[in-house]
Each structure stands twice: as structure tokens, then as C-alpha cells.
Amino acid sequence: MDIPTLNRVLSILKKAVQKWKVPAVGVIAGRAMDRPFETLVSTILSLRTKDAVTEAASHRLLARAPTPQILASLSVAEIERLIFPVGFYHTKAKHLIESCRSLLDNYEGKVPRSMDALLKLPGVGRKTANLVLTVGFGDYGICVDTHVHRISNLWGFVRTKTPEETEFELRKKLPRRHWIAYNDILVTFGQNLCVPVSPWCSKCPVARYCPRIGLRRSR
């Protein structure tokens, strides 16, 4: 897929995805009082967890602990009760406390606005850091999860083996104006129509542009 075709595809999908619910992290951020912090919390919770579970757990936790100061003061057991049944809830509870303590000790209780600083926080990888920068701060970044990685390769826009490889390839090839929106569009598209197992190609508004590279089965 070349750049003009990609531009056309993203323009079509930007309108199409409006009928579906936005990813959980975007829902939390849209209602946030402290957008960077709440984006950080919900993104940590979202890893290996379904959106509905992430959204509910984020609301419970942030209602109890809306600031790093309060969250850092909670016990691991209380956080576990609030966020269950998110995936790896025991590890995430510890990472949340450790990250909030780091914010208090090193950043005056504020989420840092740099990739390098974010990656030093416990439980934060490149996906989380990019989401905090793009959704939390509105800065340029490219967040790559399994949907973004899979669909970018399905389109033949990149040819990569891992989400991290995909991020760096997209940083080279993807027009900068698409960086912030790319994740939201592809994640929503990937959760609702271009699903991982047997995507709905017969209903897809961009099917005529898609080379379906590596796709074995569709509906």
C-alpha cells in the first residue's frame, strides 16, 4: 500500500469507526480531570485485558485514587480488589504503586512528558509511553498494539515481525499528520470489523484497497 492509498483508506476509516465505541483508554481520557495520569493508569490496566474490563476497572480505581499521591498510599491488596479481573492484576497493582511513587519522588507528582522518562516507570513499555504522549498530552507518537501491527502488515504498508519493529517502520513511513490518530482508527477497526480471526472483508469499506497479505481466512 502506497502513501496516497493509505491516505484514502484512513480518510474512509476515520468516518467509518465513528459508529463503534472508542477504545477504553480513549473513553477514560475523554472524561479525565488529569488526562496524562488517568491515561497512564488505564493504559497499564489495559495490557492483556479486554476493553470492557479495562474501562470498568479504571473507573473503580480512579474514583478511589484520582491522584498519584492517593494511589501511592493504597495497599497492593486494595488495588487488586479494585482492578480485578484485569489480566496480571497482582503485578499491575505493584507497578501502579511503584510508578506513582516514582512520579512523587522524581517528577513532583506529574506524569513526565518524554518517552525516555516514561520508559523508566515500572510497567511502562513503548506502547504505554506512546499512548500517554498521544492521548494524554496530544503530542506526536505512534502507539503500536497487536491490531496496529497486524493490520499495517495486512495492508502491506510495513513488513515486520514485532510491534516494536512496526513502530519504528511507521515512524519512517507514516505521514506525521496520521501519527496520533493511527492507533485509535486501527484499534477500533481491528476490534469491530478487521478482527484477528476471520475478518469481515465482505463488509469492509476499504476492502478494495487491501492486498490482504498473509490472510488465510475471511468472511
Instruction: Tell me how far CA of residue 3 lies from CA of 8, 124, 156, 157, 170, in angstroms.
Output: 9, 31, 11, 8, 12
* Residue 116 is among the residues annotated as catalytic for this protein: no
What band does 21 get if pLDDT is binned at 50, 70 and 90?
confident
| Residue 110 shares a structural domain with residue 49 | yes
Residue 43: which CATH number? 1.10.340.30
Active site residue: 14, 34, 105, 145, which one?
145
34 among known catalytic residues: no
| 35-56: average pLDDT | 93
| CB atoms closer than 10 angstroms to residue 175 | 11
Question: Does residue 184 sit in the same domain as residue 91?
Answer: no
Per-residue model confidence as pLDDT tens digits over 110-134 = 999 999 999 999 999 999 999 999 9
Same domain as 73, residue 106: yes
How many CA atoms, within 13 angstroms, populate the side-chain half-sphere of residue 193?
18
Which of 26-30, 61-65, 141-145 has the largest mean confidence? 61-65
Report the domain count for the chain. Answer: 2
pTM of the model: 0.87
Annotated catalytic residue, options 127, 139, 172, 173: 127
Asked if residue 26 belongs to a domain, the reply is no
Residue-wise pLDDT for 102-113, tens only, equals: 999 999 999 999
Both 154 and 200 in a single domain? yes
Q: Tell whether 70 and 83 lie within a shared domain.
A: yes
Distances, alpha carbon 30 to alpha carbons 109, 131, 169, 188, in Å? 21, 13, 29, 16
Q: Examine residue 218 and state whether it is found in any structural domain, yes or no.
A: no
What's the CATH number where 180 sits?
Answer: 1.10.1670.10
* Domain identity same for 113 and 69: yes
What is the residue whose three cell numbers read 513499555?
125
pLDDT exceeds 90 at position 208? yes
pLDDT of residue 53: 95
Kindly state the average pLDDT of the residues 46-58.
92
Range of the structural domain that residue 67 is part of: 32-136
Same domain, 132 and 37: yes
Instruction: Give domain status of residue 214, yes or no.
Output: no
**Mean pLDDT value across residues 173-202:** 93
